[in-house]
Amino acid sequence: MKNLRLTNHTVKLALSLAAATVLASCDKNEKETAPAVKEYRYVRVLVTDEQATKLTQITPRDASVASFDTDFPLGTLYPTASGRFAAVLYGSQNLVKMFDTGLESHGDHIDIKGTPKWGTITATAARPSHFKSKGEESLIFNDGDGTLSVGNEADFHNSGARFTVLNAGLQPHHGAMAHFSNGTYAVTTASASGANPTRVQVINKSGAVVHASTLQTGAIHGNASDGENAVFGAWTSTANASGGVLVVDKAGQQRLIPNPADFGAFRLGTVLYAQEARKFVGYAATKGAYLIDVANNRITPIYAGADAFQCKTDYAGKNLLVLTLDGKLRVYDLATGALKKEGNVIGATATADTYKPVLEATEKFAYVAVPSLGEVHQIQLDNFSVVAKHKVTARPVRLTVLGFESDASH
């Protein structure tokens, strides 16, 4: 009987240990298979290559990669305001095409309207350079002849459709333009063909001048608009010795906000508008990123450094991301200007590299196209050490995010 009791005790102990092991195993498996952070279902990433005539679409949610033939390499990519299309500009070949993700927003959900494909519409004016989009309208400035090309998304799949050419009587120049909420456009003007633009005027959709320029600056480059104000990076005079931003409102009022006093002979050649934060940001690779406060007429530093080679708002326009030559990524909250997170995400980049890594971001991830590796790195923003690497073409050099930060389907 003693041996039997010992045996029973042994069996009970063994069963208890087995049960504990099973529970521990279940706990471990649950932790290992817990879902990682996933990108929104309807976000898409597009990439073009330095040499290959391919456009690559990444669907980050499932890591799928699709490839589409292009007419030329080196297409410059811009998302439309609707989120559905991307403009692909081939400046040297006088061509613009529109790529359709097949995604359409209905406010509370996203519909899949078709497979990803090229639209049938084209623009063929000389040297298309800057692109802007508002609502369902796309606007292109053509450096080669000083015209604007205007297209509406309703026409993007019409057979044989072309962008409408708007001739406002401008001299050919490396120009820029912006939408106002009342349907007019702010456009740069140059005094002679091929000269730098030094003025901005407001025109209507027929090209007629609504508000003439009232302020001459030095060379203008880079601009953004919130619908009420258009902000242009500019030298303060033709001496190009000091810089600032030219602010033009939809009523035609113009004023110059000077750079900080110790800024030196530099110009904020890139201007961004962060939609959700409702902030303008100016950027220069040699000086860093600066908040442009149009209400209080001042420019203040966000990141002041000579090593920033990429400066982008996230897709919603809530945060600013700055990537520096040492491979460090910094994320700033644009509501406060505070640094939220920083850390190294890629290897160091040589200053002399013609094509450096390219940065874009959503709420959850930063995307960096690394030309030397043929990859797009998807970096989790709340944990920089979590990186998915998407193999694309051999030399990815252009990148954009489009689609919708949503998981909601019909």
Closest CA to 101 of 87, 80, 115, 122: 115
Residue 53 banded pLDDT, cuts 50, 70, 90: very high
Lateral strand order in the sheet of 288-293: 270-274, 279-284, 288-293, 298-304
CA pair distance 375, 363, nearest whole angstrom: 21
Closest CA to 302 of 286, 322, 316, 327: 322
How buried is 346 (Cβ within 10 angstroms: 0-12 exposed, 13-18 middle, 19+ buried)?
Answer: buried
Residue 108 banded pLDDT, cuts 50, 70, 90: confident
Question: Coil, helix or strand for 64?
Answer: strand
Q: Name residue 240's amino acid.
A: N
Strands (E), 236-318: 243-249, 254-258, 270-274, 279-284, 288-293, 298-304, 308-313
User: If residue 117 lies in a helix (H) or strand (E), which one and from where to where?
Assistant: strand 117-123
Q: Which two tokens stand for residue 283?
A: 């950027």
For residues 172 and 146, the answer to whether their CB atoms sit within 8 Å is yes
Please give the pLDDT value at position 5: 40
Q: Does 3 have pLDDT greater than 60?
A: no
Residue 107 banded pLDDT, cuts 50, 70, 90: confident
Count other C-beta atoms under 10 Å from residue 150's C-beta: 16
CA pair distance 269, 260, nearest whole angstrom: 15
Beta bridge mates, 76: 89
Pairing assessment for the beta strands 177-179 and 319-324 based on DSSP bridges: unpaired
| Mean predicted confidence (pLDDT) in 19-29 | 38
Residue 267 banded pLDDT, cuts 50, 70, 90: very high
Q: Does 189 have pLDDT greater than 80?
A: yes
Task: Indicate the average pLDDT of the chain.
Answer: 92
Residue 216 banded pLDDT, cuts 50, 70, 90: very high
Q: Does 9 have pLDDT greater than 90?
A: no
| Mean predicted confidence (pLDDT) in 215-230 | 97
Please give the pLDDT value at position 1: 39
Please give the pLDDT value at position 32: 34
Please give the pLDDT value at position 36: 81
Q: Does 2 have pLDDT greater than 90?
A: no
CA pair distance 361, 279, nearest whole angstrom: 17
CA pair distance 104, 296, nearest whole angstrom: 38
| Mean predicted confidence (pLDDT) in 17-39 | 47
User: If residue 6 lies in a helix (H) or strand (E), which one and from where to where?
Assistant: helix 2-33
| Mean predicted confidence (pLDDT) in 385-403 | 98
Residue 27 banded pLDDT, cuts 50, 70, 90: very low
Please give the pLDDT value at position 361: 98
| Mean predicted confidence (pLDDT) in 46-51 | 98
Q: Does 63 have pLDDT greater than 70?
A: yes
Rounded to 5°, angle at Cα 247 from 245 and 250: 160
Residue 18 banded pLDDT, cuts 50, 70, 90: very low
Q: Does 237 have pLDDT greater than 50?
A: yes
Please give the pLDDT value at position 23: 37
| Mean predicted confidence (pLDDT) in 363-371 | 98
Please give the pLDDT value at position 202: 98
| Mean predicted confidence (pLDDT) in 362-390 | 98
Q: Residue 225 CA to chain centroid, in angstroms?
A: 15
| Mean predicted confidence (pLDDT) in 266-288 | 97
Task: Measure CA of the first residue to CA of the last residue in the chain; give whole Å.
Answer: 70
CA pair distance 393, 400, nearest whole angstrom: 15
Strands (E), 334-374: 338-344, 358-361, 365-370
Question: Coil, helix or strand for 86?
Answer: strand
Residues in the chain: 410
Q: Does 380 have pLDDT greater than 90?
A: yes
| Mean predicted confidence (pLDDT) in 364-393 | 98
Closest CA to 283 of 225, 243, 226: 243
Beta bridge mates, 189: 199
Phi first, then psi: give them for residue 16, nearest 5 degrees: -65, -45
Contacts of 204 (CB under 8 A, 6+ apart): 183, 184, 185, 210
Confidence (pTM): 0.90
CA pair distance 398, 299, nearest whole angstrom: 29
Question: Coil, helix or strand for 253?
Answer: coil
pLDDT digits (tens, 9 = 90+) for 300-341: 999 999 999 999 999 999 999 999 999 999 999 999 999 999
pLDDT digits (tens, 9 = 90+) for 271-281: 999 999 999 99
Beta bridge mates, 312: 321
State how far the alpha carbon of 207 is from the alpha carbons of 95, 164, 192, 203, 407, in Å: 22, 12, 19, 5, 41
Please give the pLDDT value at position 84: 97
Q: Does 13 have pLDDT greater than 80?
A: no
